[in-house]
Structure 1
Amino acid sequence: MPDDAFDEVVTLCSELIAIDSTNTGDPQTLVGEREAAEYVAAKLREVGLEPQIIGEDEKRANVIVRIPGADSDRGGLLVHGHLDVVPAEPAEWSVDPFGGVIKDGYVWGRGAVDMKDMDAMMLAVVRRWAREGIVPPRDMVFAWVADEEHGGIHGAHWLVDNHPDLFEGCTEAVGEVGGFSFTIDEGNRVYPIMTGEKGIRWMKLTATGQPGHGSMIHHDNAVTKLAAAVARIGAHEFPIVWTDTLREFVTGLGKLMGTDLMAVDPQVMIDKLGPLGRIVGATLRNTANPTQLQAGYKANVIPSSATAIIDCRVIPGQEAEFEKQVDELLGPDVTREWVISDIAIESSFDVPLVEAMTAALKAEDDGSHTLPYLMSGGTDAKSFTQLGMKCYGFSPLRLPADLDFASLFHGIDERVPVDALTFGARVLDRFLASS
């Protein structure tokens, strides 16, 4: 299919980025996804489709459109992307993060890779189908949702809890963070397919002690106890856990690289993989990273309590073992509670849906290879799993070999190559048309 059939994906991505949909998680400061949702809905109506805009408040909106397929007796496929983005500080960027700037062969701005690139690909594919009367092989639901960057409370979680009928019949789902290329050599590129996600546990630690005057000697100090617990947890290296997904990824990648990566020290392997190593390295073990501290109200008053937040990510099946390990690190007079808890998920790699992804990539890149990987973060897949769907991450991009893609997620000067966008739209179209 000609490139010009998907040229509009670049404009769509640029225009979506230019709509500030910052999600701070704070109702007082978030911008909201309503304008971006209205934009998507308008683009769908432009080609004769009838999308549904739905949300629980005026700032947050989700867009859903169902495309009937040739065989409605088959299980349907959900294709989803989120419209919100994390904040960006303009002074830190070389371009306006909400300008949708196109220069030097890239589309620049907050959301370029997380994930308005995929939003634009989805929109370009659906618009082409509508213009040309293309019918997918089975029913497909396309969803552009809110609030993924703060847990999906007003987006995927809310839709699943309140409007599951919108996804009736869907047995599989495809979303973000998979299908991006990692160059091995000139003739070989690996496109990792996300088949699982670590669980999310945001843990609140509370330390207690004897309050008093800051000028006195205090051996029972809540801040000291908390600081010690946070330091122990933050410095602790949890043991490596070789999941089947990780083993298959490392073994397959090693074969393509002509070496036995399973026989290499894990840290050497991570270093050898460069930017991809940061993604893989975070899935080798459970992690617990301190992110917030709070204590006291005055410089000369020792508080009776102090709190901290720890961002924990847990490998599937490791939940009980992880809690045991954390409890051994807490120390006296420090308690924990989970303030956010979301499941770990896993889906099979050896399925027809992944075969269709692999074939679509091969048609556009003869040097492509696919392997499963476990994602260290979390996506809206965690919500859609609750409806019985098998979930995958496949947002296809053929990237320059020297691009540090991992650093662009939530990073400064986030950007996506123009050629990668058009490539991704072509691959996504081929994949969906054959799945």
Structure 2
Amino acid sequence: MEDEVVELCRELIRIDTSNTGEVDGPGERVAAEYVAEKLEGVGIKTTVLESAKRRTSVVARIEGTEPSRDALLLHGHLDVVPAQASDWTHHPFSGEIADGCVWGRGAVDMKDMDAMILASVLDRARTGRRPKRDIVLAFLADEEAGGKYGAHFLVDEHPNLFEGCTEAVGEVGGFSLSVPGDRRLYLIETAEKGLAWMRLKAVGTAGHGSMIHDDNAVTELAKAVARIGQYQFPLQLTPTVRRFLEAACEAYGVDFDPKDPEASLPHLGTLARMIGATLRSTLNPTRLDAGYKTNVIPQHAEAQIDGRFLPGYEREFFETVDALLGDKVEREFVHYDIAVETEYEGNLVGAMEEALTWADPGAIPVPYCLSAGTDAKSFATLGMRCYGFAPLRLPADLDFSGMFHGIDERVPVDGLQFGVRVLDRFLDNA
């Protein structure tokens, strides 16, 4: 199992599933067929569904020994963000092993977790080890562009595939952060920010660039974009974030000040970027578009904004956005999705904690909030409690948060092997 997880990860990375946000890319079809073939090869029946040309997902159900229990969903996405080979030390679609790591786009986001799930369930099928509860597997398209062709499609069009699932486990959780005393915090995701990608539009009067114009769409849009880009939301400490910071401060031997939670961040190293973004909602201008000639004042101007709001603060977020826009700029969604937060308690959490401490006696499992979003948003709409648990024991000096969508994305080989041991142990008790 530990050898197979490495090869599975490498083989998945070699399948280019780059997602540009459009439907004209390579899609996930080849990767989905690869996964389906692996599962069918050990007797696990699969359902392969295509929402658009080459936008393909795979779903399977493994029957448990206790059919009266609710089912558990394990989900991972097959698509990755694009990568330019000339920027990388090793080709992003090579799956090369170097310096103790598997390199390539998707190594941590999230073909590593796809490989862990596959390696565990393949080994369990070959050895006749059945889970206690039904396990639904979902390998999904389009997560990197919001899930329209993947998780959202399945939830909207094929919800029967997830019948009985009350809990879900996916990406960006269970990874380690080294703290003093040869101990490691393992961050289990129990919350994630909501997503509001917005297009701003301003309309003015077109005219000659040599004349005086008081109704310039570019000017109005630029003022709104500047207000948004310069605005900082107040600190808003959610229950998940507070619990994480309290545990982190205790591990580092420092006091936690709820009135100044940002004072905790310097202790977190590179992870401070991710955690810091969960202390407040955010708005970041990302695109501008107007005009077609230097001496022509355009009638229309547009910008795009990446907005992320904390669980429980959606109403205040959009009230603030509308106030910053002013009267002459309108907004529409490029993509919207909910914020989610669930309790850090119950048997499933206990199984995660037990598996981590079994594999690493220095483990300190803690909940945390993800500053980005995952397919958990879709499955939460079906009433599932959603967690991020893709376990990895990481070197203390690895910039893990920088691996996501970054150049030279890679995952330690021993981290992958640790992860599949933990995930397999977790499935024994989930």
TM above 0.5? yes
Structure 2 CA distance for aligned equivalents of residues 17 and 57 of structure 1: 22
Tell me how far 1:187 sits from its aligned partner: 1.8
Structure 2 CA distance for aligned equivalents of residues 125 and 209 of structure 1: 59
For the residue of structure 1 that corresponds to 2:257, the secondary structure is: helix
In structure 2, runs of 5+ residues without a counterpart are none
Tell me how far 1:186 sits from its aligned partner: 4.5
For the residue of structure 2 that corresponds to 1:181, the secondary structure is: strand
Cross-structure match for 1:325: 320
Taking a change above 3 Å as real, the CA distance of residues 186 and 17 of structure 1, as seen in their structure-2 partners, is farther
In structure 1, runs of 5+ residues without a counterpart are none
2:23–2:53 CA contact under 8 A, matched in 1: no
Deviation per residue, 1:209-263 (Å, 9 max, x gap) = 2221112222321111111211110111110001111111111111111111326
Within the candidate set 67, 72, 77, 1:77 is matched to 72
For the residue of structure 2 that corresponds to 1:21, the secondary structure is: coil
Structure 2 CA distance for aligned equivalents of residues 264 and 411 of structure 1: 33
For the pair 1:122 / 2:112, whether they are aligned, the reply is no
Structure 2 CA distance for aligned equivalents of residues 389 and 281 of structure 1: 27
Structure 1 CA distance for aligned equivalents of residues 295 and 26 of structure 2: 39
Structure 1 CA distance for aligned equivalents of residues 414 and 58 of structure 2: 27
Cross-structure match for 1:394: 389
Deviation per residue, 1:266-314 (Å, 9 max, x gap) = 4432222111111111110010111111111211100112111111001
Between the two proteins, the alignment pairs up a number of residues equal to 430
The aligned amino acid for 1:17 is I
For the pair 1:7 / 2:3, whether they are aligned, the reply is yes
The aligned amino acid for 2:357 is K
Cross-structure match for 2:303: 308
Cross-structure match for 1:282: 277
Deviation per residue, 1:7-28 (Å, 9 max, x gap) = 1100000000000011111123
Structure 1 CA distance for aligned equivalents of residues 128 and 76 of structure 2: 23
Tell me how far 1:93 sits from its aligned partner: 0.7
1:250–1:262 CA contact under 8 A, matched in 2: no
Structure 2 CA distance for aligned equivalents of residues 198 and 263 of structure 1: 20
Structure 1 CA distance for aligned equivalents of residues 200 and 12 of structure 2: 39
Structure 1 CA distance for aligned equivalents of residues 96 and 212 of structure 2: 58
The aligned amino acid for 1:273 is L
The aligned amino acid for 1:27 is V
Percent identity over the alignment is 58
Structure 2 CA distance for aligned equivalents of residues 272 and 414 of structure 1: 24
Structure 1 CA distance for aligned equivalents of residues 94 and 19 of structure 2: 17
For the residue of structure 2 that corresponds to 1:72, the secondary structure is: coil
Worse overlay, 293-302 or 399-408: 293-302
Within the candidate set 18, 24, 28, 2:20 is matched to 24
Q: CA RMSD in A?
A: 1.2
Worse overlay, 77-86 or 42-51: 42-51
Deviation per residue, 1:89-111 (Å, 9 max, x gap) = 11111111011111110000000
Structure 2 CA distance for aligned equivalents of residues 264 and 252 of structure 1: 16
Structure 2 CA distance for aligned equivalents of residues 134 and 61 of structure 1: 29
For the pair 1:112 / 2:104, whether they are aligned, the reply is no
Structure 1 CA distance for aligned equivalents of residues 99 and 197 of structure 2: 39
The aligned amino acid for 1:272 is H
For the residue of structure 1 that corresponds to 2:119, the secondary structure is: helix
TM-score by length of 2: 0.98
Cross-structure match for 1:159: 154
Within the candidate set 165, 169, 173, 1:170 is matched to 165
Structure 2 CA distance for aligned equivalents of residues 220 and 261 of structure 1: 51
